[in-house]
A and B are shown apart, each in its own frame.
Chain A
Amino acid sequence: MNDLGNVGKYYWHYLKRYWRGFIVSILLIAFSTWCIVVAPTYLGRAVEQLTTYLQQWGSPATRGQASLGSFHHTLITYILLYLGDASSIFIASLILARVTAYSTGTMRVGLFRKLQRMRVQYFDTHRDGDILARFTSDLDNIFNAMNQALLEILLSVAQFVGLLLVMFPQSPTMAWITMASTPIALIVAGVVMHKASGAVNQQQDDIGRLNGYINEQITGQKVLITNGLQQDSLKGFAGYNAKVRQSSLTGQIWSGILNPLMQGMSLLNTAIVIFFGSWYALNGSLSTGAALALVVVFVNYAQQYYQPIMSLTSLYGMIQLAITGARRVDEVRQQPEEVKPVNGQELTAIQDGLKIDDVRFSYLPGKEILHGVTINVHRGEMVALVGPTGSGKTTVMNLMNRFYDVDQGTITIDGTDLRKFDLDSLRENVGIVLQEPQLFTGTIADNIRYGDPQAGMDRVIAAAKQANIHDFIVGLPDGYDTRVSDEQSVFSAGQKQLMSIARTILTNPRLLILDEATSNVDTVTEARIQAAMDNVIQGRTSFVIAHRLKTILNADKIVVLKDGQIIEQGNHQALLAENGFYAELYRNQMVFE
């Protein structure tokens, strides 16, 4: 229930600014409902007046009095009522369409803004696809529900209340008859919806498993073919497919049966109203005209009576999805944000150097990754981090520009704790080149000047030259205006890496962190990247996370990490002389004559 409260708060947060629109819409809807429920009485009156006219016209004595004048008036009122209904619904729909579109838009941008403020930890522990789904299917579900349900719910409630208000004064007996089947309908609907939600959950689970199987098998088609496993794969598929068939059948029947059942109930209700209505009309003290009118009016009401129940039950699934959607988006809204120091110090230059002092860190509580790491770096030095996978190399990088904060110990620049610096100022001075170069849709020039969108072409070209990629770019038909997009990967992994190096050069960072690319690049291209990296490192304080030792032979200091601890430290020669882990690693990687 607390959960639903959060969902309610979520909608309230985004919808409260439209309160004027809602009030106007509700008034309009109330008016239109009044029109709709009152209109049938005019139809009834018209029939009654025609009956009277016919009777007067039928006997020669009263033929002279017979007139259609009042009948015409009734009809004009009838049409005016529907005109009022249509125009008020039209305006209410316009308002609600606007509210729906713009509030979903605000939700979408709000979600994105929130993500920009959140910690890297969230992105590391959630799959991109799952976060993206909140932009696509969850916000979509919210939009669809508001788009269709908002008006529909208001209308249904108004119509229901309106009908009750108008039926009872006319004939309490007939009103009770019209309502008689409601409890049965509600019970039936409740049971069916309960059954359906269970069956549909089971169905979705089974479909999820089947889709997972198909996805895994087809993605591994090469393995299937080269091992001749196609028949095995078919056997596995048949099991999942049969399960889906069974549970979907149950799911589809229970969820599909509600609508025909409610329509059937509506038919039954109309039949009941006609049956008892006509009996009541004949046995009461009503004139023929009034009796006819009563039946006409209440048949109309009986048909209308089930409309709200039917729309609400058919909207049920949609509303469920919208609640789930809001819950998932709201979950993101509740996530902690990056901690920014108030009045943080500006970082302008590095005077002495950087010190990592007895740092302990864990991603998950109780699972410490770094167990007291201490590294000293002087200004202008290059430090290389080496070690097997899982030793904590990348973790050290994560701490340097505060993607994560240390648990214990400190990281300081010129004696000032990183957490005392203004976060933006710190990150502007710490440049990173990631293992997987990530470019953005746009031109090559846009990508190189990503860190400083105001940078002129001269700076872009200078950066590209330093990164050894200028010649390649000018060789392209569109040069620096060549579009980069994720669908058409015209660039090789190596070229993307060089562009990302140029992007970092352009911002001229004081401290540089390079995470070396591991795979997808052959050793010759690697040499080109190496040369570019050497250009960037020149004259800067830098950390290199090395996977291939070849690249770091010239480092001022090599730090060997294993299981979160520093086991060796020194330059290449010193470490070789030590003949320990590093020396072994080195001998294993290089070819010797």
Chain B
Amino acid sequence: MKVLMPYFHRYRRDVWLALLSVIVLVFATLWQPRLLQVVMEAIIKNDQQTVFQQGLYLLGLAVLGIIGGVVNTIYSARVALGVATDLRADLYAHVQSLAYADVEEFSTSNLVVRMTNDINQVQQIVMAGFQQITRIPLLFIGALILALITMPQQWWVILLMMVIILAVSGLAVRRMTTYFAQTQQDIENVNTVARENLMGIRVVKSFVQETHEIGKFSQASDALTAVTAKIGYWFAILMPAFFLTANLAVGTAVYIVGQNITTHPAYLAAITSFISYLMQILFAVINGGFLMTFASRAFISLGRIGEVLDKRPSMTYVAGDAAPVPGDVTFNHVTFTYPGDDHPTLKDVSFTLSAGHMLGIVGATGSGKTTLAQLIARLYDPDSGTITVGGVDVRQLPEKALRATVAYVLQRSTLFSGTISGNLRQVEPDASPSHMQWAANIAQASEFIERLPQTYDAPVEERSQNFSGGQQQRLAITRGVIAHPKILILDDATSALDARSEKLVQEALNRDLKGTTTVVIAEKISSIINADQILVLDHGQVAGVGTHSELVAHNAIYQAIYRTQKAREEVPE
């Protein structure tokens, strides 16, 4: 709730109008039985004048109620949308200010859910809040007071009715809560079987296990069916029980009026309005119960949003200008552990890479190759040791300077939806067509881009799915080189390229980006065979540094990797 307050304050005019109109609406609803009572008294007295006058009041009151309801809806919607959009914008801006480690801590899919579903929940509860949550207590209190004014000595009838209703719903809710938890579990089971079946449909079919799968699914589904039926049975009790209780209360009230009619003859005219108030109380209690379950879901969402907003970025940058720094890199006894992990992923890594040189990194899956590269781009900070770029500790570099110096191309760094040129201009805002062509030539991308009908303005679909894997990687490299970075990191970025294209990319890099330091992570030895320096990583430690010929001669791990890729001797060169 604290999270929402500043936003309500921002829309205070709409908030007040929504509240005011709800009061008008409640007044119109509650005052009608009151006027009815006056009309009834007038009928008894045969007072035509009053009947006519009160009838006009009644019509006016109804029109007032309609206006109140409409105005209330409009302003509730304005508040709800204002709060939700602003909250979403602030949440999004906050996420953009977080360090990558923070984003990973929440997990991307989780953050997306918070910005979409959770915000939507909040929007709905705010809307419902100004339409219902304010109305229901007002209706309840108003109806209660008016009922007591109408027939003071019947307070215990009202009380008894409420106690019975609350007791019945309490009993049912207790049973249903356990069933609801069970339902969640059962739904998950059903979904798991269905999802795995869809993903593995070829496995199912090739092993002829369709019948077995149907059996598994039926079992999960039948459990879900049984528990939903049970919930249904409990619901079946609730509504009739509520209405029966209310009507019994009405019967009791009328009976009491009858018994005391000679001492309180005026109550004769009050019966109908008293019944109306009893029914209003009943509706308020029922709707209140429904809203409470609805609200509790929204409060969970609100909590999850607050959690993100309260997260302080775990990494900050120094202020300073955006000029790039020279492209030499050093690692000085760097140890790094991922947040939440017990064991360090990199242990005491040291090396020096001169500007303009090429560094190759090899090692088994999980040996820390990508982690090392990510530290250069400062996606994380090391536990101990220092990393310098251009002779400066990366933690002392302004963000813009670091980004202008280092370009990082990932294995799956797809472009964003839009156009090719749009993506390239995000990195190099003033890129001319010839400049884009220059970058695409390096990445061996120009030949396929220029065959597209709209060439550089060709559309890019979501997840770049209108391009093949090899084309995506070439586009990503184009984006990586377009800003003339001082340091270019290719993190398995050519894995989907055939060997010839890969060779051409490397030749072009040597020719056109002569002064650029390149860091190449690769599975294939052939990708890094010409590097000035190759770093062999093994379980997060440097197991060897040297050129290809040095490592082949002396390094056991390098030899093992090499052996699996080496051609047999009889191959003609």
Contacts and interface: CB of A to CB of B under 8 A. Distances in A.
Are A and B interaction partners? yes
A11 interface: no
A214 B115 contact: yes
Interface in A550-593: 550, 553, 576, 585-593
Contact of A553 (B192, B469, B568): B568
B450 interface: no
B251 A120 contact: no
A227 interface: yes
Given A267-B66, A292-B40, A389-B469, A275 B55 contact: yes
Which of A51, A57, A105 is packed against the most chain B CB atoms within 10 Å?
A105
B228 A143 contact: yes
Interface in A296-327: 296, 299-300, 303
Interface stretch (B81-89, B140-148, B435-443): B81-89
B174 interface: no
Interface string A99-114: 0111011001100110
A524 B364 contact: yes
Contact of A295 (B39, B198, B552): B39
A79 interface: yes
B38 to A, nearest CB: 10
Given A292-B44, A296-B271, A267 B61 contact: yes
Q: Chain B, interface size: which category?
A: 35 or more
B208 A428 contact: yes
A173 interface: no
A279 B61 contact: no
Given A82-B244, A82-B247, A90-B240, A524 B115 contact: no
Contacts of A94: 232-233, 236
A454 to B, nearest CB: 11
B205 interface: yes
Contacts of A349: none
A191 interface: no
Interface stretch (A233-241, A361-369, A375-383, A461-469): A233-241
B58 interface: yes
A389 B207 contact: no
Given A79-B251, A225-B379, A271-B32, A427 B207 contact: yes
B59 A576 contact: no
B95 interface: yes
A587 B250 CA distance: 94
A147 interface: yes
Contact of A229 (B190, B207, B233, B426): B426
B202 A120 contact: yes
Interface string A256-298: 1100110111011011101110110110000010011001100
Contact of A47 (B190, B271, B404, B463): B271
Contact of B228 (A101, A227, A494, A593): A101
A253 B73 contact: yes
Contacts of A281: 43
A307 to B, nearest CB: 11
Given A97-B235, A267-B32, A104 B228 contact: yes
Given A241-B89, A299-B272, A523-B565, A214 B97 contact: no
B51 interface: yes
Contacts of B201: 115, 120, 123
A271 B61 contact: yes
A127 to B, nearest CB: 10
A218 B112 contact: yes
Given A86-B241, A220-B414, A275 B103 contact: no
A268 B210 CA distance: 61
Contacts of B84: 248
B210 A116 contact: yes
Nearest to B227: A101
A132 B58 contact: no
A50 interface: yes
A508 to B, nearest CB: 12
Contacts of A123: 198, 201
Contact of A223 (B40, B214, B413, B499): B413
Interface string B87-123: 0110011011101100100001001100110001001
A522 interface: yes
B214 A116 contact: yes
B239 A486 contact: no
A424 B208 contact: yes
B92 A112 contact: no
A94 B229 CA distance: 9
Interface string A421-455: 00010011011101000101100000000110100
B229 A132 contact: no
Contacts of B462: 212, 216
A98 B221 contact: no
Given A216-B416, A388-B498, A279 B192 contact: no
Main secondary structure of the interface of B (DSSP, over half): helix
B426 A232 contact: yes
Contact of A271 (B59, B116, B241): B59
A345 interface: no
A272 B224 CA distance: 49
A214 B209 CA distance: 39
B56 to A, nearest CB: 8
A256 B100 contact: no
A117 B41 CA distance: 73
B298 interface: no
B463 A431 contact: no
A486 B258 contact: no
Contacts of A296: 40, 271-272
B218 A109 contact: yes
Interface in B223-249: 224-226, 228-229, 232-233, 235-237, 239-241, 243-244, 247-248
Contact of A218 (B103, B568, B572): B103
Given A116-B210, A223-B413, A576-B572, A214 B112 contact: yes
A329 B470 CA distance: 37
Contacts of B451: none
Contacts of A224: 96
B137 to A, nearest CB: 17
Interface in B322-381: 363-366, 377, 379
Interface in A506-547: 507, 519-527
Contacts of B55: 271, 274-276, 278-279
A411 interface: no
Contact of A245 (B85, B226, B498): B85
Contact of A264 (B62, B195, B226, B562): B62
A27 interface: no
A220 B81 CA distance: 27
Contacts of A553: 568
A276 to B, nearest CB: 8
A105 B222 contact: yes
Contact of B495 (A87, A237, A519): A519
Interface string B467-478: 011100000000
B168 to A, nearest CB: 12
Contact of B100 (A102, A113, A221): A221
A256 B129 CA distance: 12
Contacts of A143: 228
A526 B565 CA distance: 11
A256 to B, nearest CB: 5
A451 B48 CA distance: 89
Given A245-B81, A268-B62, A591-B529, A520 B51 contact: no
Interface string A178-222: 000000000000000000000000000001001110111111111
Contact of A226 (B42, B68, B255, B408): B408
Query: Nearest 3 pairs between A and B by C-beta?
Result: A97-B232, A260-B69, A588-B499
Given A57-B262, A278-B43, A519-B495, 4 more contacts: A82-B243, A89-B243, A116-B197, A220-B413
15 contacts: A53-B261, A79-B248, A85-B243, A102-B225, A116-B197, A131-B198, A132-B191, A220-B414, A227-B407, A245-B81, A267-B66, A268-B63, A453-B212, A550-B565, A589-B565
